[in-house]
Chain A
Amino acid sequence: MKILVVDDSKAMRAIVKRALSGLDRVAGATIMEAVDGKEALGVVQAESPDLVLSDWNMPEMTGIELLQALNDAGITPVFGFVTSESTPEMHELAKTHGARFLVSKPFTPASLDDALAGAL
């Protein structure tokens, strides 16, 4: 399994990667990183990850713009948001565009695992 973690914060990418590394559900997965949606789009096209975990609010290309771009390109990895913003409108927008879940920061490994359980 390949997992792409997208966040403009290096610290948050490290935290998400550390959380993933402790989950049996994704044991042995190759974890890649991207610093924004624009870089992530290139990584997805080159590496075809099975799962994309993306922040929402990022420079260059936001998470929802990334998801829209993937949809437009017909590329449909399992996609979930890990974001500090979590309004009902964002949940609805994410769901409308095909995101499988939205995990709110701050999160715990258990809450991330719960989200993945429903998507993988």
Chain B
Amino acid sequence: MQTPTVELDRIISDIWAAMLGLTLEAHHDAPVFPTDMRVATGVVQITGDFEGAVTIQLSEQKATEVAALMFAMEPEEIGDEEVSDAVGELANMAGGNVKSTLAGSCQLSLPSVTSGRDYHVSVPGTVVRDRIGMTCQGQLVVISMLAREQR
């Protein structure tokens, strides 16, 4: 199946606006985090007629702020569990919205979340088809779509 054209920037902007009340702006530099920054990544995989994954990445600091908004708590009250839950749900919403644009029959996995410094996320057998950087209050948010390599 041809990799479809998906408006990742619109999908992530809609999620940010509706769920967080925040505006995302275009990021004009390469969507790369500093190697010394702790970054949280949420991943959902899509299987079926389209095979691939959707990831969302943001700094742990921004992830904590986002989790605080989702839980209506202060950032100081947010722990690792809340950050993981919030980032996973952001990935789930992004993946679900991507899936809704795909033709054919597809299934969405449950989200998984990881966090750390200077790491690379890969889903075996897939390549990055699109990677969009946006900024939220000056901090980078990256959404990527991975698709299984054509044989």
Contacts and interface: CB of A to CB of B under 8 A. Distances in A.
Contacts of A8: 110
B55 interface: no
Contact of B88 (A9, A15, A87, A89): A9
Contact of B95 (A12, A84, A107): A84
Interface in B52-72: 67, 70-72
Nearest to A17: B72
Interface stretch (B14-22, B30-38, B115-123, B126-134): B14-22
B99 A107 contact: no
A83 interface: yes
Chain B: interface size category: 20 to 34
A63 to B, nearest CB: 12
Interface residues of B, dominant DSSP: helix
A85 interface: yes
B93 interface: yes
A86 B98 CA distance: 10
A86 to B, nearest CB: 5
B97 A84 contact: yes
Interface residues of A, number: 22
A71 interface: no
B9 interface: no
Interface of B: 14-15, 17-19, 67, 70-72, 82, 85-86, 88-89, 92-97, 99-100, 105, 108, 110
